[in-house]
Amino acid sequence: MRDRLPVLSYGLIAEIITQHPLWKRGIRWVSRGTEFITRNRVWQSIFRQGYPDTEENQSRVIFNSWFLHIHPVKVKKHSLNIKYTWGLGVITAFLFIVLVITGAWLMFFYVPSVEQAYTDIQSLATSVTFGTLMRTVHRWAAHLMVVTVFLHMCRVFYTGGYKTPREFNWMVGVMLWVLTLLLSFTGYLLPWDQLAYWAITVSTNIIGSFPVLGEWMRVILLGGHEVGPAALIRFYTMHIAILPGLMAILVGVHFWRIRKDGGLSSSLEANKIDYGGSTR
Amino acid sequence: MSDQTQDVFPKDPRKTYGLMELVKGTSPMVEKGPEDTVMSWPHLMILEVLAALGTTALLLFWSLAAKAPLREIADPDVTENPAKAAWYFLSLQELLLHMHASLAGVIIPVVVIIALMVIPYIDRSKRDIGIWFASKKGRKIALWSAGYTTVCLIGLILFDDFVRVRSLVNEPEILPGWIIPILVIGGLMVLLYVLIRRWQPTTREVLIGLFTGFVVTYFVLTVSSLFFRGMGMHLTWPWDLPPRALTF
């Protein structure tokens, strides 16, 4: 009895919507608009393939695009398994992009001088449209990136993703983790408030405590014996130029190596003949 | 060609086939035809866009819920109490309370980074690649190591705060600052290894035990330093923390 009642399934809802004349008219308008945009020399000089609904165009859309060509045209089904990767690498890379964009925007309104830095941050809240939002997103994205990069490292470790032939990419990954921490650390000083000042003082004192070389390293880092104007400009330069540059290069190497090493690690690679050592 | 490979790579009547070369070894794609792959567009693209959108939404909602902090302008004459590092370095600051600063803040982190980097050169077996925790045994070892590390660390923190190593041995400085911490850390790692050994682990499973120890140490020390350290970095309950003790 029960299964004879009409069931309001997604399929049925979709059918009701797509059979409606308004929907059909909408589709006609959209396709006319699309044709207007895409059927001309300018569009076709930029995007050399047609709409990616055939395998040929789906291949060309990847390797014709500078932005997409870091991807292979085809990927192993296994590497799309969310429960294998949890998307942590992609999320971390995306957070880096968010940080570059919000960070560049924040640079418009920030002067790294002891006289101006703090008031510049204050005026983000009072006289810049979306100033507080952008600064907040920048800060939380930075914290989140510290978390996701670490979780990504744990994921790769626990799935054995560092094994041959991915040894070097694991090393690059560890360096990227350290770089992420350094980027976050150098950015921490820039608001020039009490939180920033004392966090950096505490951290650099630790380095200074190292026998013989400690004080020398601390002076190099801070440009003086205390956290002051020189430290602010050094941290700023590290934060906006040197470290992000290094990061971009290493991220490039990291992605490139994923492909060179045969895509993401997979249990298909598990070799029944064991070459490695055992404690047994 | 076996029948199975015939299905995967059907013979093309327009081509001729011959044996070109024999190659030793296996590849990830051995006996796996193109059916194990999908087009990146749209399958991978959709997931990447979803990850980006999800992250953006999370960041926006989080930013609506909590503003980025800004305290008073930096003043070298007014010391923050407690003066804490950024949260991801607080595990090192916690170590700092229990040993010489350069051991906690320089030597241990450097050793950890080097140790992480050499992992692939120690564990070279390809037997269990791509398998979470290597095996059931590996999972058990990870859980066990997590429990062991948590209990040891909480015990050590409480011991050093209530009994104090320095009240037992203070002279010479090298003892409480260097020798005792190194012996305790090394001893606990060796003990962990000895305890794991009863499961007859592979190299990877031993590394899983040690890596889990590192992750849990990072976590426990961060939590204790962030949520359980108040004025003067003394132990306190999270609900008794001065509001300025939380550094994000």
The per-residue pLDDT for range A118-155, each reduced to its tens digit, is 999 999 999 999 999 999 999 999 999 999 999 999 99
Contact assignment for A268 to B51 by CB distance below 8 Å:
no
pLDDT-based confidence at residue A279 (cuts at 50, 70, 90): very low
Is B204 within 8 Å of A160 (Cβ atoms)?
Answer: yes
In angstroms, the CA B232 to CA B241 distance is 11
Residues 177-206 of A with CB under 8 A from B: 178, 181, 184-185, 188, 191-199, 201-203, 205-206
Q: Where are the domains of chain B?
A: 1-68, 87-245
Average pLDDT value over all residues in chain B: 89
Of B37 and A175, the structure prediction assigns the larger pLDDT to A175
Residue B111 confidence (pLDDT) above 50: yes
Predicted local confidence at residue A236, as pLDDT = 97
Mutate one of B62, B117, B121, B215 to test the A interface: name it (highest A CB count within 10 A): B117
Q: Extract the tokens encoding B14.
A: 């327009």
Nearest to B63 among A58, A140, A203 (CB): A140
Is A263 within 8 Å of A79 (Cβ atoms)?
Answer: yes
Q: How far is B17 from chain A (nearest CA, A)?
A: 26
Phi, psi angles (nearest 5°) of residue A76: -65, 135
| Residue linked to tokens 């035990």 | B209
Helices (H) and strands (E) in chain B, counts: 10, 1
Query: In this prediction, what percent of chain B has a pLDDT beyond 70?
Result: 91
Q: In B, which residues are within 8 Å of A199 by CB distance? A: 83-86, 247
Is B19 within 8 Å of A104 (Cβ atoms)?
Answer: no
Residue A277 confidence (pLDDT) above 70: no
Of B67 and B3, the structure prediction assigns the larger pLDDT to B67
Give B171's DSSP letter: S
Domains, chain A, in order of start with CATH, read 86-264 (1.20.810.10)
Predicted local confidence at residue A163, as pLDDT = 93
Q: In B, which residues are within 8 Å of A181 by CB distance? A: 88-89
Predicted local confidence at residue A212, as pLDDT = 82
Contacts of A178 (CB under 8 A, 6+ apart): B113
Q: Extract the tokens encoding A75.
A: 């990927």
Q: Extract the tokens encoding B152.
A: 């040891």
| Residue linked to tokens 């320095």 | B166
DSSP states of B29-46 as a string?
Answer: TTT--GGGEEEHHHHHHH
Nearest-Cα residue of chain B relative to residue A123: B70
Burial (CB count <10 Å: 0-12, 13-18, 19+), residue A126? exposed
In angstroms, the CA A18 to CA A27 distance is 9
Q: In B, which residues are within 8 Å of A84 by CB distance? A: 130
Q: In A, which residues are within 8 Å of B192 by CB distance? A: none
Q: In B, which residues are within 8 Å of A135 by CB distance? A: 68
Q: In B, which residues are within 8 Å of A140 by CB distance? A: 59, 62-63, 66, 68
Contact assignment for A276 to B126 by CB distance below 8 Å:
yes
Q: What average pLDDT score do residues B65-94 get?
A: 92
Predicted local confidence at residue B24, as pLDDT = 67
Is B44 within 8 Å of B52 (Cβ atoms)?
Answer: no
pLDDT-based confidence at residue A164 (cuts at 50, 70, 90): confident
**A6-10, A81-85, B223-227: segment of lowest average pLDDT:** A6-10
- The count of other CB atoms within 10 Å of the CB of residue B169 is 12
Q: What average pLDDT score do residues A28-40 get?
A: 92
Predicted local confidence at residue A272, as pLDDT = 55
Q: Extract the tokens encoding A171.
A: 């090393």
Contact assignment for B88 to A167 by CB distance below 8 Å:
no
Q: In B, which residues are within 8 Å of A73 by CB distance? A: 39-40
Residue A272 CA from chain centroid, whole number: 36
Q: How far is B62 from chain A (nearest CA, A)?
A: 8
Nearest to A159 among B40, B131, B215 (CB): B131
Q: In B, which residues are within 8 Å of A201 by CB distance? A: 83
Nearest to B51 among A62, A90, A185 (CB): A90
Residue A3 confidence (pLDDT) above 70: no
Find the Cα–Cα–Cα–Cα dihedral A189, A193, A199, A205, rounded to 10°.
80
Letter string b/e over residues A192-230, b meaning 16 or more CB atoms within 10 A of that residue's CB: bbbbbbbbbbbbbbbbbbbeeebeeebeebbbeeebeee
Q: Strand pairing partners for A74?
A: B39
Q: In A, which residues are within 8 Å of B105 by CB distance? A: 203, 206-207, 209-210
Of B36 and B92, the structure prediction assigns the larger pLDDT to B92
Residues 153-182 of A with CB under 8 A from B: 153-154, 157-164, 166-167, 170-171, 174, 178, 181
| ipTM rounded to 2 decimals | 0.86
Predicted local confidence at residue A245, as pLDDT = 97
Contact assignment for B85 to A267 by CB distance below 8 Å:
no
Residues 51-70 of A with CB under 8 A from B: 52, 55, 58-59, 61-62, 68
Give B237's DSSP letter: -
Helices (H) and strands (E) in chain A, counts: 13, 1
- The count of other CB atoms within 10 Å of the CB of residue B62 is 15
What Å distances lie between residue A168 and A91, A162, A215, A254, CA to CA? 22, 8, 33, 9
Is A192 within 8 Å of A124 (Cβ atoms)?
Answer: no
Contacts of B34 (CB under 8 A, 6+ apart): A74, B8
pLDDT tens figures, A178-191:
999 999 999 999 99
Residue A280 confidence (pLDDT) above 80: no
Q: Is A263 left (phi over 0), alpha (psi -120 to 50) or beta?
A: left
| Residue linked to tokens 């009895």 | A1
Residue B206 confidence (pLDDT) above 90: yes
Q: Extract the tokens encoding B36.
A: 């194990």
In angstroms, the CA A273 to CA A56 distance is 39
- Nearest C-alpha neighbor of B136 from the set B205, B189, B216: B205
Predicted local confidence at residue A276, as pLDDT = 47
**A68-72, A73-77, A137-141, A272-276: segment of lowest average pLDDT:** A272-276
- Go through chain B and tell me how many residues it has: 248
Q: Strand pairing partners for B39?
A: A74
The answer to whether A18 faces chain B, any CB pair under 8 Å, is no
Contact assignment for B44 to A80 by CB distance below 8 Å:
yes
- Go through chain A and tell me how many residues it has: 280
- Considering only the C-alpha atoms of chain A, give the largest distance between any 2 of them, rounded to a whole number of Å: 87
pLDDT tens figures, B153-167:
999 999 999 988 888
Residue A1 confidence (pLDDT) above 80: no
Contact assignment for B26 to A188 by CB distance below 8 Å:
no
